[in-house]
Structure 1
Amino acid sequence: MFRFSKKTPTSFDTVIATKNTSKTVYPILFAISLAHLLNDLLQAVIPAVYPLLKTNYDLNFAQIGMITFCFQVSSSLLQPLVGAYTDKHPKPFSQIAGMVFTFLGIITLAYASSYYWVLLAVVLVGVGSSIFHPESSRVSFMASGGKRSLAQSIFQIGGNTGSALAPLLVAWIVIPNGQRHILWFVAFALLAKVVLFYIGSWYQNILQVSKNIKKKQLMLPDLSPTRIVFSVSILLLLIFSKFFYVASITSYFQFYTMDKFGISEVQAQVYLFYFLISVALGTLVGGFFGDRVGRKYIIWFSVLGVTPFTLALPYVSLEWTGFLVVIIGFILSSAFPSILVYAQELLPKKLGMVSGLFYGFAFGMGGLGSAVLGWWADKTSIEHIYTICSYLPLIGIIACFLPNMKNVKFKEDTDAIK
C-alpha cells in the first residue's frame, strides 16, 4: 500500500505517492546521466571541430559564431514549447525521437560539402537537444526522492562530462584523419537510444502507476505572482551572465590559446578539456551542497567567487591560464543545478516548461554570445573579447534580491488534491 510521508514540508516538497519515487532511484539517475553524457558529447563535437571547419571552409570568426548561433537557437526555441507540451502530455520515449535528429545531424556534419550543409547539420543536432532536455530533466526530478539538487547535478554531470570528452575524442579520431571520421560518433547515438529505451520504460511505468493514485500532495511557495516572476527573471539574468561567458570559452578558447601562446591545435583541445572537466566536477559538487547549505548560498558563491579569476585570465601566462580555466569552470558551473531547482521550486506545477525555458535560455545565450563574440573578434582581436567578458560575472550581484526558499512558507495546492 502506498502512503504519504508524515513529515511536514519545510521547503518545496512534492510528494508523488508511488513506491518507485518515494526514495532516490539511483539506477535511473545514473542512466539519465549516461544518456546526457552521450547527448552532450555529440553536441560538443560541433565546437570541438571548429578549427578543422575553419580551415576546410576558410571561415572567419563571425561565420564560426553563426554555426554556434544556429545550433543554439534551434536547441533553445523549441525547449520551452516541448516542456510545456509534455507537462500536459508526457512522452516517455520522446528522447529517442530527439536522438534520431542528432543521429542525422552527425551524419550530415561528417559529409557536409559546404558551409551551408554544416549549418543544416548543427540545426538537426539542436532540434535533437531541444527534445531531449525537458523530459530528461523531469525524469531526474521524478527519480530524485527529494534530493533535487543532487539529482539535477548527477544528470548535469553526465552532460558536462560528455562535453569534456568530445575535444579529446575529436583530437584523437577526427583531427588526424579528417572530417569524414566524425561518422564514428554515430555509434554513441545508437548507444544512447538503447539507454533511453530503458529510461522510457521506467518512466512509462511510473506514469501508469500514477494514474491509479487517488490523491497526491503538491506544496506551492507562498509568494505573490509578481515576486515569482521577478525571481525567475533574476535567475534568467544569472543564466545570461554565465552562459555568455561560457560561450567565449567553448567557441573561441582554442583560437585564443593558439593565437596568444602559439600552441598546436591538439594542445588547445587539451586546454579546453581542462575547462570542461572542471565544469563537470563543479556541477556535481554544487548540486551536493545545494541540498545541504541552501541553493541561494551556492548561487552567491558561484556568481561572485569566480569574478577575481575571470578578471585575471587575460593577463596571465599559459601555465596560469590552464590553472585559472579550471578554477573558473568549477566555480562557474557549481550554481546551475541550484538555479534550475530553484526555478522548479518557484513553479512546481510547470516542471517541463521551466526545465525547457532554462535549458533553452542557456543554449540561446550561448548561441547569441558566440555570434556576437565572433563578430567582435573579427573587428578587434580574439584576446580582446576575454578582457570584456571578464566583467560578466559581476552581474551576479543581483542574486541578493532572490528570496531564501528555506524561509519561505509553503501551502498546499488544493487544485491538485483529487
Structure 2
Amino acid sequence: MTVALSRRASDVRVIGLISLAHGSSHFFHLILPSMFPWLKDAFALSYAELGLLMSIFFVVSCLVQASSGFLVDHIGARPVLFAGVGLLAIAALTYSQSTGYPMLILGAVIAGCGNGIFHPVDYTLINHKVSAPNLPYAYSMHGVTGYLGWAAAPAFMVAIAQVSDWRIAFLSAAALEALILLVLWLYKYYLVDDLKERHEQTQVDTQDSHSSAQKTSPFAFLKLSAVWLCWVFFFFSMASTSSLQSFAPSALFSIYQTPLAVGSYFITLLALGSAVGVLFGGYLAAKLQAPERIVSSCLSLTILACLLLATGIISHSWLPVLFIGLGFGYGVVAPSRDLLVKNATPKGVAGRVYGIVYSGIDLGAAVGPFIFGFFMDSGLPKALFMGIAVFQLMVIPTVFKVSSSTTPKTV
C-alpha cells in the first residue's frame, strides 16, 4: 500500500509539472495574436503581415517538432524541456523590444523553436514516468492545461495592454514563463529521463522482433504505417480546430449577423468546453479502453454540429450551446487519441515518434487557416463549417486503421 501511494504521489508531481509546461506553450500560441490590434497601429502593418507571423511560428514549430524527438532520445527530455521554456521567455522579451516587423519575425522564429519541443518531451516523460493505470488521467490533465492556456492568454495580454501598453504585456508574459522555468528547475528531480533504460528497451524490443533494421537505423520507425496514420490524424484535426478558432467569428457574422465580439466569446466557450471534455475523456478512456470507438463517436457528433452551423437556420440562442458541444467533443477525443499514438509507438523511441507525429499539429495549424482564408475572402463563410466537417470525417478511418495495426506497448 505504501509503495502504491508513493507511486501515485510521484505520478501526480510528474503530471503536474509537465501539464504546467504544456499550458505555458499553448499560452504562447496566442500572446502574439492577442496583441495584433496594438501591433497593427504601432508598426502600420496589414492583416496579411500579421497573419504571416503566425504562419512563420507554426512552420518553424513543425520543423523543430519533427526533429526535436531525435534530440530527446539522444540527450534526454529534461534539458530539452528547459531549453524550450527558456526560448519562449526569450521570444516574449524579443516581442517587447521590437522596433519593426523584422524583430517580430525574429520573435516568431524563436517562439516556434521553443514551442516545437513540447510534445516529444511531454509524451516521452508521461509514458516513461507515469504508471500505466494513470496514463489516461495524465493525458487528460495534459490536454486540459493546453486548453486553459489558450483561454488565459487573451485575457492576460489584453488586460495588461489596456492598463499599460503592449510592450509591458509581452514583458509580463516573459516574466511568467521565467517563473514557470524556475518551478520546473526546483522540481527537476521528478523530470529525470533515464536514457539508459529507454535504450535498453529499444535493444530488447529489437531482439524480440528479430529485426536488424531497428538496431542499425534510428529511422526504422518511419516505415511503420501507424506512425503516418497518426500524423494524418493530427494534421486534419488541428487544421479544422485552428480554422475554427481563426474564422468562426467572421463566419458567424456573415451567416447569422452575430457581432464579432460575441463570436469571439464563442471561441472562449469552445476552449472551456474542450477543457471539460478532456477531463471526462480521460475518465472515459480509462474505463472503456476503446479509443477508436470514443474518437469516432465524438467526431461524428462534432461533424453534425458543424453541418448544422453551415445551414444558417440555427437559432441564435443555440449557437453558444453548439460551440460548447463542439469544444466538449474535441476534448473528449484527446486522451483516447493520445492512447492510440502510444500504442503505435515502438519501445524506446518515444521521442522521435512523438516528434514526427505531433508535427502534424503545427503543419495543420499553418495550412488550415490558409486554405479557409480563401473561402472567407471569396464570400463563402458556410464553406468554413462544411470544410471543417470534411476534415473531421477524413480523420475517422485513420483511427480504425491505427487501432487494427497496433497492440499496446510499454514505452
Under TM normalisation by the shorter chain, which class is it? 0.7 to 0.9
Residues 27 and 378 of structure 1: is their aligned pair in 2 closer, same or farther, counting only changes over 3 Å? same
Aligned residue number for residue 86 of structure 1? 72
When normalised by structure 1's length, the TM-score is: 0.80
Aligned residue number for residue 125 of structure 1? 111
In the alignment, the residues of structure 1 paired with residue 91 and residue 408 of structure 2 have an alpha-carbon distance, to the nearest angstrom, of 45
Residue of structure 1 aligned with 2:259, choices 257, 263, 279: 263
In the alignment, the residues of structure 1 paired with residue 344 and residue 235 of structure 2 have an alpha-carbon distance, to the nearest angstrom, of 19
Q: Is the 8 A contact 2:291 2:336 kept in 1?
A: yes
Q: Is the 8 A contact 2:342 2:409 kept in 1?
A: no
After alignment, is 224-233 or 139-148 more displaced? 224-233
Q: Is the 8 A contact 2:30 2:154 kept in 1?
A: yes
Aligned residue number for residue 29 of structure 1? 15
Task: For residue 82 of structure 1, report the CA deviation from its aligned partner.
Answer: 1.0
Task: For residue 384 of structure 1, report the CA deviation from its aligned partner.
Answer: 4.5
Q: Is the 8 A contact 1:221 1:345 kept in 2?
A: no
Aligned residue number for residue 363 of structure 2? 364
Task: For residue 60 of structure 1, report the CA deviation from its aligned partner.
Answer: 5.2
Aligned residue number for residue 231 of structure 2? 236
Aligned residue number for residue 299 of structure 2? 303
Matched, 1:389 2:385: no
Residue of structure 2 aligned with 1:172, choices 143, 155, 159: 159
Q: Is the 8 A contact 1:36 1:159 kept in 2?
A: yes
Task: For residue 102 of structure 1, report the CA deviation from its aligned partner.
Answer: 0.9
Task: For residue 303 of structure 1, report the CA deviation from its aligned partner.
Answer: 2.3
Counterpart of 2:328 in structure 1: which amino acid? F
Matched, 1:320 2:318: yes
Q: Is the 8 A contact 1:261 1:318 kept in 2?
A: no
Task: For residue 243 of structure 1, report the CA deviation from its aligned partner.
Answer: 0.8
Residues 218 and 289 of structure 1: is their aligned pair in 2 closer, same or farther, counting only changes over 3 Å? farther
CA-to-partner distance for each residue in 1:85-119, whole Å, 9 max, x for gaps? 22132142322211221112112223433344333
Task: For residue 67 of structure 1, report the CA deviation from its aligned partner.
Answer: 2.3
Counterpart of 2:393 in structure 1: which amino acid? L
Aligned residue number for residue 401 of structure 2? 402
After alignment, is 311-320 or 242-251 more displaced? 311-320
Q: CA RMSD in A?
A: 3.8
Unaligned runs of at least 5 residues, structure 2? 212-219
Counterpart of 2:146 in structure 1: which amino acid? G
Task: For residue 307 of structure 1, report the CA deviation from its aligned partner.
Answer: 0.7
Q: How does 1:8-407 map to 2 (within 5 A)?
A: 25-54=11-40, 62-146=48-132, 147-175=134-162, 177-180=164-167, 181-204=169-192, 207=194, 229-256=224-251, 261=257, 263=259, 265=261, 267-293=262-288, 294-314=290-310, 315=312, 316-349=314-347, 350-380=349-379, 384-399=383-398, 401-402=400-401, 404=403
In the alignment, the residues of structure 2 paired with residue 26 and residue 301 of structure 1 have an alpha-carbon distance, to the nearest angstrom, of 30
Counterpart of 1:105 in structure 2: which amino acid? A
In the alignment, the residues of structure 2 paired with residue 380 and residue 215 of structure 1 have an alpha-carbon distance, to the nearest angstrom, of 53
In the alignment, the residues of structure 2 paired with residue 215 and residue 278 of structure 1 have an alpha-carbon distance, to the nearest angstrom, of 39
Q: Is the 8 A contact 1:65 1:375 kept in 2?
A: no
* Local SS of the residue matching 2:343: helix
Task: For residue 198 of structure 1, report the CA deviation from its aligned partner.
Answer: 3.6
Unaligned runs of at least 5 residues, structure 1? 6-18
In the alignment, the residues of structure 1 paired with residue 42 and residue 258 of structure 2 have an alpha-carbon distance, to the nearest angstrom, of 21
Task: For residue 144 of structure 1, report the CA deviation from its aligned partner.
Answer: 2.0
In the alignment, the residues of structure 1 paired with residue 68 and residue 239 of structure 2 have an alpha-carbon distance, to the nearest angstrom, of 24
* Local SS of the residue matching 2:234: helix
After alignment, is 175-184 or 244-253 more displaced? 175-184
In the alignment, the residues of structure 2 paired with residue 208 and residue 399 of structure 1 have an alpha-carbon distance, to the nearest angstrom, of 31
Q: Is the 8 A contact 2:21 2:85 kept in 1?
A: no
Task: For residue 162 of structure 1, report the CA deviation from its aligned partner.
Answer: 0.8
Residues 410 and 388 of structure 1: is their aligned pair in 2 closer, same or farther, counting only changes over 3 Å? closer
In the alignment, the residues of structure 1 paired with residue 135 and residue 32 of structure 2 have an alpha-carbon distance, to the nearest angstrom, of 30
Structure with a larger share of its residues in helix: 2
- How many residues are aligned here? 393
After alignment, is 83-92 or 21-30 more displaced? 21-30
Q: Is the 8 A contact 2:340 2:403 kept in 1?
A: no
Residues 287 and 94 of structure 1: is their aligned pair in 2 closer, same or farther, counting only changes over 3 Å? same
In the alignment, the residues of structure 2 paired with residue 342 and residue 81 of structure 1 have an alpha-carbon distance, to the nearest angstrom, of 21
Residues 82 and 252 of structure 1: is their aligned pair in 2 closer, same or farther, counting only changes over 3 Å? same
* Local SS of the residue matching 1:149: helix
Counterpart of 1:190 in structure 2: which amino acid? A
Q: Is the 8 A contact 2:92 2:107 kept in 1?
A: yes
Counterpart of 1:329 in structure 2: which amino acid? G
